[in-house]
Amino acid sequence: MSKKTLKYALNIVLIFLLAAGTLYFLLRGSEIKVVFSKIGDANIYLLMLGALFVLGYVCMESVIIRYILYNLKHEISLFKCILVSNVGFFFCGITPSATGGQPMQVFYLAKYGVDPLMGTLVIAVVTICYKLTLVLLTIIFLVIRPSAMFAAIGNAPILFCVGVVIILSLIVFLALCVYKTSIAFFIISKVITFGGKIKLIKKPDRTLSKAIHSIRGYEKASKFVKKHPGMIVGALGLTFVQRLLYFSVTFIVLSALGLDPNWMDVISYQLVLALAVDALPLPGASGANETVFQLLYGALYADIALSAVILNRGITYYFMMLFTLLFTVVAHFVSIRGEKAAKNSEAHAKKVHVLAHYVKDPVINAAGEVEGMQSAPAKTETQ
């Protein structure tokens, strides 16, 4: 087992340990039978609809990837884009701060015939749109639904403020990568060097090399964005739909439990939840997500919040991890089959080249045949 595989395996174990510990903490002092009884009474059809929304959320990213590649004049099947998006969500879900998905997406895009530099550009644009959409939606809902937004922020003010600082810092850094690359290089080199000195980063040189490669990708993305502003607007629009699909799952879960929630209020609460926990250095934000969810919705639905936590997290994370794992395995086998097909095609091309050479030189071929005919009787006489 490689070190990377072992690291992923340990992250998965950590996820389950955090989930178990969080569940124990939340259920402590509660009537467990009542909590699971409410889960059992939930509308199964609405829960299935919620699961479909999660599938739509994942597949929407594949539509965005194909849309960007189409604008780059690169043809790729939607099926392969679906595989790439599933790979991204799976590795994001098992790595701290969701940092493992993007490199794996570039890797599998390369396996499917997309140049690594182009793949890096595509994933850079997808990442920028994903982060920017969260900020834009937050601003929009602060304007159109201020009461719900401030009520949610009041239940987890510290985590929300930390999350806002992190996401804004990230967006500012991405903007520097896009428009002022030299400043981005300076900042990242100083941060990584400092991290190496205090032993927080084990291999600073290797980390710096990867960071520079990523910044180059964002630099290329900036040139692309300037040339294709309309395409970026389209990608942002699709990302808005993607985000709202995911946030709406909680609305469906609450409805399945017999409540009558307000959709805009639920979206407001989910925006605060996302900002509070997405950047935390925990695989899948395990533990933090459940705790903050309980803090936010406990004030609204005290009697049913625990049941909602379990169902919502079960659909939006654990169900998503299961089917993205399945598609990640499929992606691996599709890439292997593609490599075998490429090798067979290469071998066939060599045979065709040899045959073409044989056909193009009939004099040489005829001379070879005459020589063969003359040598055959000689062997017979010798015998």
Question: Is 201 within 8 Å of 207 (Cβ atoms)?
Answer: yes
The mean pLDDT value for 33-37 works out to 81
pLDDT tens digits for range 141-157: 999 999 999 999 988 88
Which residue, 287, 320, 195, 301, is CA-closest to 251?
A: 301
- Side-chain-side CA neighbours of 353 within 13 Å: the count stands at 6
Does the pLDDT at position 128 exceed 60?
yes
The runs of H, that is alpha helices, within the chain are 3-27, 32-40, 44-71, 78-93, 101-111, 116-144, 146-155, 157-179, 181-197, 204-227, 229-256, 263-277, 288-298, 305-313, 320-360, 362-382
Given pLDDT bands bounded at 50, 70 and 90, which one contains residue 337? confident
Same domain, 371 and 251: no
pLDDT tens digits for range 164-182: 888 888 878 777 776 777 7
Q: Range of 364's domain?
A: 356-382
Same domain, 105 and 232: yes
Given pLDDT bands bounded at 50, 70 and 90, which one contains residue 380? very low
Given pLDDT bands bounded at 50, 70 and 90, which one contains residue 27? low
Does the pLDDT at position 221 exceed 60?
yes
Given pLDDT bands bounded at 50, 70 and 90, which one contains residue 332? confident
Torsion of CA 163, 132, 59, 312, to 10 degrees: 30
Given pLDDT bands bounded at 50, 70 and 90, which one contains residue 8? low
Same domain, 215 and 304: yes
Same domain, 365 and 338: no
Distance, CA of 32 to CA of 36 (rounded, Å): 6
Same domain, 76 and 220: yes
Give the 3-state secondary structure of residue 302. Answer: coil
Does the pLDDT at position 348 exceed 90?
no
Same domain, 26 and 143: yes
pTM across the whole model: 0.78
Same domain, 362 and 333: no
What's the pLDDT score for residue 141?
95
- Comparing 1-15, 239-253, 294-308, the range with the smallest average pLDDT is 1-15
Looking at the DSSP assignment, which residues form a beta bridge with residue 96?
283
Same domain, 237 and 366: no
| Burial class (CB within 10 angstroms; exposed 0-12, middle 13-18, buried 19+) of 97 | middle
Which residue, 110, 115, 126, 206, is CA-closest to 174?
A: 126
Same domain, 376 and 317: no
What's the pLDDT score for residue 266?
94
Distance, CA of 285 to CA of 242 (rounded, Å): 20
Does the pLDDT at position 207 exceed 90?
no
Same domain, 294 and 326: yes
Mean pLDDT of the chain: 80
Given pLDDT bands bounded at 50, 70 and 90, which one contains residue 117? confident
Find all residues with CB under 8 Å of 47, minimum gap 6, and list them: 252, 253, 256, 311, 315
The mean pLDDT value for 26-35 works out to 71
Does the pLDDT at position 33 exceed 50?
yes
What's the pLDDT score for residue 146?
93
The mean pLDDT value for 80-87 works out to 93
What's the pLDDT score for residue 147?
92
